[in-house]
Amino acid sequence: MKRFACVAAVCLVAVLGVGASAQAQTPSAGSDSKMSVEINFGPTLGHKSAAFVGGEFDFRLTPGLDLVVEASHMGNVGTTDLDSRAAIIANFIGGTAATAFKANEFAFGARYRVPVAAHVTPYILAAVGVANVKTEVEFSVNGTTVDPAARGVQLGGDLSGTQNKTIFVLGFGVNVPFKTRYFADLGYRYGQIFPKTDNFETDTAIPTQRVILGVGVRF
């Protein structure tokens, strides 16, 4: 986990350094724009690595501060805790388990654009919102998928179902403008999906990590 975060940070520093040395003192393209939209994608990191796709909308409140709204679908943000709970059932039926948390998140917050004398624009952001988390567990015995109910096991809310939970997002990155109104985005987002004990008391937090590769337009 830490290794991937370090790689993301090094990439951001490298892009910022190259952009600053090559295009220092160049005015930011689209500096008169008040709004922007972006589509992004990339890998999710952590215990279960997968991919995500998402988008963002920004509205400029001041020259350095934006209102930001983001949404994304994360393919699998499964945890060791989910694996451990599924393993209890798998051992009971004499098989194995494949687990996944699939999350759709929607959050809003603020983006601060760090002032630098360069063509690129580094930023930090924070947002809070809702994550719709679907728990998926598949059990197999001797390579064949089986229904636990057929073995006398009824899954509870800890291994099945969908819940809406609170998510808090922190991130950083750099925007690199091109073609006047367009920009590329390279960044990193850490999201904490907080536990919700409505279905089961031992629910735990779900950490998420995303490496952002995006493209957007200002208008």
CB atoms within 10 A of CB 14: 12
User: Picking from 99-103, 158-162, 170-174, 196-200, which range would have the lowest pLDDT averaged per residue?
Assistant: 196-200
Per-residue CA distances from 142 to 95, 96, 145, 147, 179 (Å): 7, 9, 8, 13, 56
Place of tokens 């390579």: 143
Structure confidence at residue 29 (pLDDT):
43
Mean pLDDT of the chain, nearest integer: 88
The predicted model scores a pTM of 0.85
Dihedral over Cα of 179, 188, 173, 107: its sign:
positive
For the chain, the C-alpha Rg in angstroms (whole number) is 21
Share of the chain above pLDDT 90, in %: 76
Residue 215 binned pLDDT confidence (cut-offs 50, 70, 90): very high
Q: Check: CB of residue 107 under 8 Å from CB of residue 169.
A: yes
What is the DSSP-derived secondary structure letter of residue 219? -
Q: Check: CB of residue 189 under 8 Å from CB of residue 210.
A: yes
Structure confidence at residue 19 (pLDDT):
43
Q: Check: CB of residue 199 under 8 Å from CB of residue 134.
A: no
Q: Check: CB of residue 74 under 8 Å from CB of residue 61.
A: no
Say yes or no: domain 2-218 is CATH 3.30.70.1880. no
* Residue ranges of domains in the chain: 2-218
Phi, psi of 21 (to 5 degrees): -75, -35
What is the DSSP-derived secondary structure letter of residue 60? E
Place of tokens 């990191």: 45
Strands 50-62 and 35-45, bridge-based pairing: antiparallel
Average pLDDT over residues 187-206: 94
